[in-house]
Amino acid sequence: MLGSSNVVVMFSISGCCMCHVVKQPFFGLGVGPAIVELNKEKYSSEMQSVLYQLSGGQHSVLSVFVGSKILGGIETLMVCHINDTLVSLLKAVGAL
């Protein structure tokens, strides 16, 4: 596993099957994302409302942060993966 890790943080809920899929591009690149399962956190509702605001008022089962900046939800992540911005993003924050 490369890097000091936890440059990528995913906030999700446990048992979210899409979240498993979403991890794959990161593992494929050798980046192990830190995963926070919101439903297991003590302050889960507070965290969810903060995430809601950070993502511009979008409810998402998953929010991905790269280098402490919000990237977005599943759709944004997949688009970035497909159009190759994900790699440059990860390089920019030193994860690669």
Ligand X SMILES: *[C@@H]1O[C@H](CO)[C@@H](O)[C@H](O)[C@H]1NC(C)=O
Give the shortest CB-56-to-ligand X separation in angstroms: 13
**Residues 27-86, interacting with ligand X (CB under 6 A):** 76, 79-80, 83, 85
Rounded Cα distance between 67 and 90, Å, is 8
Reduced DSSP (H G I as helix, E B as strand, rest coil) percent helix, strand, coil of the chain, to 5? 45, 20, 40
Closer to ligand X by Cβ: residue 13 or 67: 67
Give the nearest residue (CB) to ligand X: 83
The one-character DSSP state at 73 is S
- Provide the minimum distance between the beta carbon of 19 and ligand X in the complex, in angstroms, as a whole number: 19
